[in-house]
Chains A and B, each alone.
Chain A
Amino acid sequence: MTGVAARALTYAVGNATLVDGVDLVVSDGEFVAIVGPNGAGKSTLIGLLAGDLRPSAGGVELLGEDLAGVPVGELALRRAVLKEQGVADIPFDVRAVVAMGRYPHRLDPDNTQLADITAVDEALDRTSTSHLAGRVFATLSGGERTRVSLARVFAQDAPVLLLDEPTTALDVAHQERVMSQMRFEARRERAVVAVLHDLNAAAYYADRVILMAEGAIRAEGPPRGVFVEKILSEVYRQRMRIIDHPFRDCPLILVAD
Chain B
Amino acid sequence: MGSVVISPSEVWFAFLHRIGLDIGAEPSFRAEAVLWDIRFPRILLGLLVGAALAVTGAVLQGLYRNQLADPHLLGIGPGAALGGALGSISGGVQGAIAGATAAAIATALITRRLGATRSLDPSRFILTGVALGAALTAWVGFIVFASDSTKVPPIQFWLLGSLTGSTWRALVTVAVIVGVGLSGLFFASRILDLFALGESEARHLGVDVDLATATIVMAVGAIVGATVGAVGVVVFVGLLVPHIVRRFTGPAHRPLLVSSALGGGLFVVLADLLARTLADPVDIPVGLLTAAVGGPFFLWLIRKPPRGEPT
A interface vs B, CB < 8 Å? 50, 52, 72-77, 79-81, 83, 86-92, 96-97, 100-101, 103-104, 107, 138-139, 152, 156
A72 in contact with B200 given A89-B306, A103-B194 (CB within 8 Å)? no
Are A139 and B206 in contact, with the CB atoms below 8 A? no
Which residues of chain A are within 8 angstroms of B198 by Cβ–Cβ distance? 83, 86-87
B252 at the interface (CB under 8 A from A): yes
In the bound complex, CA of A40 to CA of B223 (Å): 48
Q: How far is the CB of B267 from chain A (nearest CB, A)?
A: 22
What per-residue 1/0 map shows which CB atoms of B294-307 lie under 8 Å from chain A?
Answer: 00000000000011
Are B308 and A139 in contact, with the CB atoms below 8 A? yes
A-contacting residues, B194-226, CB 8 Å = 194, 196-198, 200-201, 203-208
Q: How far is the CB of B13 from chain A (nearest CB, A)?
A: 49
12 A-B contacts (beta carbon < 8 Å): A73-B206, A79-B204, A80-B204, A86-B198, A86-B201, A87-B201, A89-B65, A89-B306, A91-B307, A101-B205, A152-B197, A156-B205
Contacts across chains A and B counted by CB atoms under 8 Å: 70
Are A75 and B197 in contact, with the CB atoms below 8 A? no
Which residues of chain A are within 8 angstroms of B193 by Cβ–Cβ distance? 92, 96, 100
Which residues of chain A are within 8 angstroms of B306 by Cβ–Cβ distance? 89
Which residues of chain A are within 8 angstroms of B203 by Cβ–Cβ distance? 52, 72
Are B205 and A91 in contact, with the CB atoms below 8 A? no
Nearest A residue to B210 via CB reads A72
Which residues of chain B are within 8 angstroms of A92 by Cβ–Cβ distance? 193, 196, 250-252
In the bound complex, CA of A73 to CA of B197 (Å): 17
A103 in contact with B201 given A88-B308, A89-B307, A89-B308 (CB within 8 Å)? no
B200, B205, B307: which contacts A100 (Cβ < 8 A)? B205
A76 in contact with B206 given A83-B200, A87-B196, A88-B308 (CB within 8 Å)? yes
B190 at the interface (CB under 8 A from A): yes
Q: How far is the CB of B221 from chain A (nearest CB, A)?
A: 24
Are B206 and A72 in contact, with the CB atoms below 8 A? yes
Are B207 and A72 in contact, with the CB atoms below 8 A? yes
The count of chain B contact residues (Cβ–Cβ below 8 Å) is 21
Are B204 and A81 in contact, with the CB atoms below 8 A? yes
Additional pairs, 5, CB under 8 Å, beyond known A86-B197, A103-B206? A52-B200, A77-B206, A83-B201, A104-B205, A138-B308
In the bound complex, CA of A92 to CA of B190 (Å): 13
In the bound complex, CA of A92 to CA of B307 (Å): 11
What per-residue 1/0 map shows which CB atoms of B164-206 lie under 8 Å from chain A?
Answer: 0000000000000000000000000010011011101101111
Are B196 and A90 in contact, with the CB atoms below 8 A? yes
In the bound complex, CA of A104 to CA of B207 (Å): 9
Are A73 and B307 in contact, with the CB atoms below 8 A? no
A97 in contact with B197 given A81-B204, A104-B206 (CB within 8 Å)? yes
Which residues of chain A are within 8 angstroms of B250 by Cβ–Cβ distance? 91-92
Q: How far is the CB of B11 from chain A (nearest CB, A)?
A: 42
In the bound complex, CA of A233 to CA of B251 (Å): 50
In the bound complex, CA of A215 to CA of B36 (Å): 73
Which residues of chain B are within 8 angstroms of A81 by Cβ–Cβ distance? 200-201, 204
Are B204 and A50 in contact, with the CB atoms below 8 A? yes
Q: How far is the CB of A148 from chain B (nearest CB, A)?
A: 11
Most chain B CB inside 10 Å of its own CB: which residue of A72, A77, A80, A156: A72
Which residues of chain A are within 8 angstroms of B194 by Cβ–Cβ distance? 100, 103
B65, B208, B251, B252: which contacts A73 (Cβ < 8 A)? B208
Q: How far is the CB of B204 from chain A (nearest CB, A)?
A: 4
Nearest B residue to A96 via CB reads B252
A-contacting residues, B68-90, CB 8 Å = none
Nearest A residue to B211 via CB reads A72
